[in-house]
Structure 1
Amino acid sequence: MATQTPLEFVNTDALLSEEDIAIRGTVRTHVETRIKPHLADWYESASIPVRELATELGDLGVLGMHLEGYGCAGMSATAYGLACMELEAGDSGVRSLVSVQGSLAMFAIWKHGSEEQKQEWLPRMATGEAIGCFGLTEPDFGSNPGGMRTRARRDGDDWVLTGNKMWITNGSVADVAVVWAQTDEGVRGFVVPTDTPGFSAPEITRKMSLRASVTSELVLDDVRLPGSAVLPEAVGLSGPLSCLNEARFGIVFGSLGAARDCLETAISYAGDRAIFDKPLSAYQLTQAKLADMTLELGKGMLLALHLGRLKDAGTLHHTQVSLGKLNNTREAIAIARECRTILGAAGITLDHPIMRHANNLESVLTYEGTSEVHQLIIGQVLTGQSAHR
């Protein structure tokens, strides 16, 4: 009997353009040949060759691929989402590298920066020559960024930054950090070269999730910057939140990549594994699990593509991104956990990607807005009442 992969069953390719399919195929091939063979070792050793990867991903054209000009590819939002999906089918840490580079650090400069800042940083970041990070979250302020304690004060024509940021992807290897701080004018963003005196970025270790990713603290000890370092077009929390919305959009697609890889692994394993003289895949309970997961993956993909089309049309609202992020990360981690049960004990080893994906998705579930925050965002739209203030 002929078989179909989970997304072939739903036939979501019928909703894609030839260009979308070509871009997805290029990224998938790169992930399969250049990244997947190393992921188990990177995860086990909690190390990743960020600079080498950034150069390769820059050559591939995925760094800031949805931005226009300055050496960026100017691709559609849907194409960017599909690229995120393929990257996260490899590993959430690799997709995070690309998301932070393109949707947080590069987008912040592209959207809110001066022409001088754009010319200085964006072309080098698009090629992977320069690596960026994004400093918003603090040790005591994640879901409530407005409470941040990092402070920027004027001193003549300069700015002086003091404070700490936490859980910053790429921080220890970055050449430039986009740092958000409280000022007398409200929250402002600053472009901070990481070789500036007073800036340091110790790496966070002993992680059980996103081990194939660099995660850091940023320490700003009276970091003196010229007046030109401030992002001129961002005043208030709307600046950093606009960047987070870009990253969340990539997660809507990316999380499905991890789920798809788990599901395809489970289907393959169940077909090869003999239990009581017939394949595990021939049992009703196994098929019920696979059918339910295929349904949720397909629904998530349809939602992601719909949001992608809305974004390309310029009509996507940030609350709709919350809907996609909430659903797809929640379903992705449920799929990963269910797939692990199909593999039994084999599912906990790095011989298969499932436990690695499941552990990574624990982070994806909570960064760029926890599920609870997105529930309250949706609830506020439905009721007109704010429950989180």
Structure 2
Amino acid sequence: MAGRLWQRIAVDTTPLRNVAYRRLWWGQGVSFIGFQLTSVTMGAQVYSITESSFWVGMIGPASLVPLVVFGLWGGAVADAVDRRRLLLAGSLIAWVATGALLLQAVLRIDNIALMLGTVAVHSAGFAVTGPTRGAIIPRLVPVEEVPAANTLNFLVGNLGTVIGPLLAGIVLDRGGFATAYLIDFILFTGGFYAALRLPPLPPLGEITRRPGWRSVNEGLGFIARHPVVLMSFVVDIIAMAFALPRALFPEITAERFGNSGMAFGWLSASIAIGSVIGGLFSGWVGRVRRQGIALTVVIALWGLSVAAAGLAGQLWLMVALLALGGAADLVSAVWRQTILQTYAPDEMRGRLQGVFHVVVAGGPRLGDLRAGATAAAVGVMPAWVGGGLVCAVLVVVVGLAVPAFRTYRPVGR
């Protein structure tokens, strides 16, 4: 009986039998460790230079504009060119930007404007690779394996979000900023090699022959005409823009834990720790039928968990509560991604993945800006706790107000 229960709740690894998907999966996992290492290091470095959560929060808008522009553009191009080649091009841009951060750290160029400019370039490369990778998955695995493939993708990504920040805590205590960027630069080779080994992925259908902003508008029009798809974006923006406390980690670490690199690493990794644990026990996720109402519930849980973490005084309790929120966020991400990948035809997937990537990666940047600006205005605790509570209330009101989303069931369920 215990064996049958484990089979029902354990993560489904069936897509890993597919060689091409497996390469994409492990390549993303290796490179994402380095990506998270760099992300945490940038926040710590900016706070070290400025001693201001506001400037840490400004990392968000610095990356948001290229994320929006190149995320939407990259999604449109992904419907018109070989997706493998586009993935390689975006990866190369991000790799060069990481090298620039490394060079600035080695030369001790503590120029915030230059750092934010480099962040913008890095974000442009990341914006191209994200939607391209998402559009590739349904081409590699059968449709019935898409939810499991998405879960595995989010799982390995969140594993990187655990290992990267914890590694950052160790490296920042002992090696400094340049060492952290160097490790990312080296790890990136794994993801680049995995992309090289993917099979050719040429476009399908006539519409994919005409990339550009007109095709971007077609994708946005598709979203506007389908309330379920639109709401999958809206609820995620609410979750990230109002509740994400990431920009407040450096100040909280300084105030409560004496600027400990390890404490900063644990806080930075806490949400992803919960996502990894949630992913390991995600076998039930693909069997949920009322996904609209379920999405509303798990995002409300995310907001309440973040608010409770802000009130906790002990590091272990903060980490545990943020981890609970991370598990809810993982489940939400799988359902939202699956809705997009199964709702649209292949020739539209790149564009929808572009919008998805803009929302998923752009929402946290808005959250960084909101958290940093609010902390500067009213203090770090109101910014943290208030954001989580607003998220929980707002997502319930909005999620229940749209009948098509509230009653949504996956096709065939």
What is the TM-score normalised by the length of structure 1?
0.35
Larger strand proportion of the pair: 1
Larger helix proportion of the pair: 2
**Higher RCO structure (Cα 8 Å, ≥6 apart):** 2
Q: Which of structures 1 and 2 has the bigger CA Rg?
A: 1
What is the TM-score normalised by the length of structure 2?
0.33
